[in-house]
Structure 1
Amino acid sequence: MNLDKVLTRQFPATEHALTPRDCMLYALGVGVGERSDAKEELQFVYEDGLKVFPAMVNVISHPGAWVKDPELGIDWVKILHGEQSFTIHKALLPGETYIGTYRVTDVVDKGAGKGAMLYLEKTLSEKTSGDVVSTVTSTYVMRGDGGFGGTTESAPPLHIVPETPADDSISLATLPQSGLIYRLSGDYNPIHASPEVARQAGFERPILHGLCTMGVATRAILHGCCSDQPERLRSLKLRFSAPVYPGETILTEFWQDSSGVSFRSTAVDRKVIVLNNGYAEIAAA
């Protein structure tokens, strides 16, 4: 990796005109509509009073495959998505156009042969008003890099989920075709659609997008902790700890405190934790 090139990378502003169809398709991709007769579900998938599902801030105004730029020297084939967070300053609106601007904020070098971690920040703004609506951060585990130096010596600490029994939990099933629907919101990586590519990557079949699993957990938090009121969700962060296969049931456990909720999610049949170190800030009703 060329550290100087990575840290000074200039990202072009990315514009996204958010159509009602985009919003509904994204919501269907994360499984909204399971309770098809419930107004709490219809608010994200029906044009009458349509609201944008909060976690959609993760996918709009995407910067493209910038890590493939040869001058950066990144071994992009070995990159994993390690962590993700979003903070909502103002709700997204169907029909509005948004501008995404990006910057690399930190790179942690674990040492030669040990990999590195790259931290990318997206600021999402309304085109018409210029108002910042969301801040999104992504952490990438760069298994093929390391030994080049970095901006900091250690990664920020993760949120620790309590060891006590959970206060509550919600199970949500994913559809066998979840990955095929979700990819229509912009992530066309064939590992989520092609059995052959998935096997080449070491998986028995196509895996679900990590951000789709995050959307499923967000659904559970909205329903279990926000009374299905999306405006109450202020921020959410987590670590991706294992892949999910489309069709699996995801159990999300909650530990509530005065300002929010700690959480983790497990693939029920395999008893594997797939999302961990989660925390969501929630406004009072």
Structure 2
Amino acid sequence: MPIDRHKALSADPSVREISWSTRDVLLYHLSLGAGSDAATDPELHLTFERGLQVLPTFALVAGSGISAGEVPTMSVNMPGIDTDLRSILHAGQGLEIHRPLPPSGSATVTSRVAEVWDKGKAAVIVLESAAAGPDGEPLWTTNVQIWARGEGGFGGEAGPETSWTAPQRPADIVLETPTTPQQALLYRLNGDLNPLHADPEFARTAGFDRPILHGLASYGLVCKALVDGALDGDVTRLNGFSVRFAGSLFPGETIRTSVWREGERLVLHSTCPERDNAPVLTHATAKVTS
């Protein structure tokens, strides 16, 4: 079904109530490798319920974990948009954290289609969501860009072109983040049960040799590496994190992240060293507190 941009943009926002438990947070952290060197550092602030801190990127899976009973769907359906799951890729992700996330809690999430760009052979769907706690105060805001192959040509604008290059100086920090062969199988228990990340046959129909790691898994892995390696392990110092997903990563590969400090802003560039530093995350910035 062709995209109806006007219908998508004029639709009423959707509102849903979500909740999460300490178990959901612990699973999320474990799926990002927390505690993997338990003999030396069990990372109890991320892996044990007493004094548990919450990585800001947990906001992207809050309320959709396996305990929420989420069921995979073979399409993306919203007013004016109906596309097959095989045609979509997560193109970009932005997150702004307004206050530290509690280890368990609830929120009201209001979501809308903010824009739909016509790229000719594809469409870019921009989704915005805002979460507020039971007290009505903001918790987080997200911006998601979805690349829908074969859904362009509906007559809309192409949208802004944004060029990006890494700073032309040596990085202040370089972070190495290994992944495991089972990383995607574990991460999908946070709620994203897209078979692209588990089923080899499905992955081949989508154009990949084998299942790929979730974009949000790479996002979370880099977030954890950034907190550990640049923010002294203090999750409350990360206030925002925005990236473009520039390339796929296969479970078992490494993420190498170069970090440049620019005041209360960090610029990042993540690559895969096993494939000649092929880009993984670009246009990446983090807002931090000194």
TM-score by length of 2: 0.89
Q: Quick check: 234-243 or 39-48, which moved more?
A: 39-48
Structure 2 residue corresponding to 1:31, chosen from 30, 33, 51 = 33
Moved more, 250-259 or 18-27: 250-259
Q: 1:144 to 1:100 in 2, by over 3 A?
A: same
Match of 2:52 among 38, 41, 50: 50
TM superposition score normalised by structure 1:
0.90
Matches within 5 A, 1:187-226: 187-226=192-231
Deviation at 1:13, TM superposition (A): 1.9
Change (3 A) 1:261 1:69: closer
Any stretches of 5+ residues in structure 1 without a counterpart? none
Q: Aligned in 2, Cα 1:72/1:273: closer, same or farther, shift over 3 Å?
A: same
Question: 1:53 Cα deviation (Å)?
Answer: 1.4
Contact 1:169 1:251 in 2 (8 A): yes
Distance 1:53 1:144 in 2: 35
What stretches of structure 2 of length at least 5 have no aligned partner?
A: 65-69
What is the letter of the counterpart of residue 124 of structure 1? A
Task: Return closer, same or farther for 1:70/1:108 CA change in 2, 3 Å cut-off.
Answer: closer
- Matches for 1:53-92 after TM superposition, within 5 Å: 53-61=55-63, 68-69=76-77, 72-76=80-84, 77-92=86-101
1:193 and 1:66 map into 2 onto residues whose CA distance is 14
In the alignment, structure 1 residue 278 sits paired with structure 2 residue 284: yes
**How far 1:37 moved relative to its partner?**
5.2
Deviation per CA, 1:59-89: give whole Å up to 9, x if none: 2245986963386343333222111010000
**Displacement after TM superposition at 1:252 (Å):** 0.9
Map 1:233-272 onto structure 2 (within 5 A).
233-271=238-276, 272=278
Q: What is residue 171 of structure 2 aligned with on the other side?
A: 166
Identity %: 35
Change (3 A) 1:202 1:147: closer
Q: Is the 8 A contact 1:83 1:140 kept in 2?
A: yes
- In the alignment, is the contact (CA less than 8 A) between 2:20 and 2:63 conserved in 1? no
Equivalent positions of 1:4-23 (< 5 A) are 4-23=6-25
Q: How far has the Cα of 1:36 moved from its partner?
A: 2.4
Aligned length: 280
Q: In angstroms, what is the RMSD of aligned CA positions? A: 2.3
